[in-house]
């Protein structure tokens, strides 16, 4: 299979990457997924990503035929050097620059590098990620300029033509819900609500109309507000 017909989706288990997986399956003949265990506080997302893949195959057999191998890579060293609210049991707050302490320095840079190294070996040159700089927490490694620079670096460093695709880059959270509906209708929305995980605190005990979560961390607030705006214009 040619490189142009294959993609690797960075699947965290959250709403954004779940939507990106559907987006990739609609476009490419073979789609593999990769997740990262970096000691994240909301490690339940690693369970959710597996369940979402399984539910997607069952609900969308046509996509299931295209869904290839899943990979989970150990990046525990990142968690060991990260004093952040994503890797430590500390209160979520902003620093003096307004940057939330949920920012894990170098995380997305490492994710792209490892995904590219894996793609190099798997014959996959298109990497799909759910990063966005519209409705987001201000993480510098989610910006379009960062992704473009990373693509140049990977291509130079590996002598390959990698393409980093970010279908959500200019969408707000309401737009992400709308994209999911366009791709798979209510069945896909139901899967994302039930099986994806966004909450930074790892809360799965409370189910809201937009999914599970504590309801008050920054990730939950963004997801809930996006759902509200999405439902308001339907």
How many secondary structure helices (H) and strands (E) does the chain include?
Answer: 8, 7
Q: What was the pLDDT predicted at 214? A: 96
The whole-number pLDDT of residue 3 equals 67
Strand 30-37 to strand 6-10: parallel, antiparallel, or no bridges (unpaired)? parallel
Say if CB 223 and CB 211 are below 8 A apart.
yes
Q: Is residue 10 packed enough to be buried (19+ CB in 10 Å), middle (13-18) or exposed (0-12)? A: buried
Q: Where are the domains of the chain?
A: 3-232
What single DSSP character describes residue 4? G
Report the distance separating Cα 177 and Cα 182, nearest Å.
9
Q: What global pTM score does this model have?
A: 0.94
Task: With beta carbons less than 8 A apart as the criterion, state whether 230 and 193 touch.
Answer: no
76, 102, 200, 216 from 91: Cα distances, Å? 21, 10, 11, 12
pLDDT recorded at residue 103: 84
**Angle between the 15-25 and 173-195 helix axes, to the nearest 10 degrees?**
90
Is 73:114 a contact under the CB 8 Å cutoff? yes
Q: What is the pLDDT along the chain (234 residues), one digit of tens a residue?
A: 556 799 999 999 999 999 999 999 999 999 999 999 998 988 999 999 999 999 999 999 999 999 999 999 999 998 888 888 788 888 888 777 778 878 888 899 999 999 999 999 999 999 999 999 987 778 899 999 999 999 999 999 999 999 999 999 999 999 999 999 999 999 999 999 999 999 999 999 999 999 999 999 999 999 999 999 999 987
3-232: what CATH class?
A: alpha beta
Report the pLDDT value the prediction gives residue 138, as an integer from 0 to 100.
Answer: 83
Helices 44-59 and 15-25 cross at an angle (nearest 10°) of 30
């Amino acid at each position: 299979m040619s490189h142009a017909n294959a993609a690797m989706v960075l699947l965290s288990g959250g709403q954004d990457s779940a939507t990106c997986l559907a987006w990739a399956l609609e476009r490419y003949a073979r789609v593999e997924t990769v997740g990262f265990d970096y000691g994240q506080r909301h490690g339940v997302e690693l369970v959710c990503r597996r369940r979402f893949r399984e539910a997607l195959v069952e609900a969308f057999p046509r996509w299931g035929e295209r869904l290839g191998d899943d990979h989970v890579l150990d990046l525990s060293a990142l968690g060991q050097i990260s004093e952040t609210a994503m890797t430590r049991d500390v209160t979520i707050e902003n620093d003096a620059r307004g940057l939330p302490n949920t920012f894990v320095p170098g995380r997305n840079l490492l994710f792209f590098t490892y995904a590219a190294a894996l793609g190099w070996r798997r014959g996959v040159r298109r990497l799909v990620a759910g990063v966005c700089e519209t409705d987001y927490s201000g993480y510098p490694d989610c910006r379009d300029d960062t992704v473009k620079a990373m693509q140049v670096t990977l291509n130079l460093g590996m002598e390959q033509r990698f393409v980093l695709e970010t279908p959500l880059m200019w969408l707000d959270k309401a737009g992400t819900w709308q994209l999911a509906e366009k791709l798979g209708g209510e069945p896909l929305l139901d899967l994302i609500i039930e099986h994806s995980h966004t909450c930074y605190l790892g809360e799965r005990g409370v189910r809201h109309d937009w999914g599970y979560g504590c309801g008050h961390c920054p990730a939950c607030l963004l997801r809930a507000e996006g759902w509200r705006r999405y439902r308001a214009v339907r």
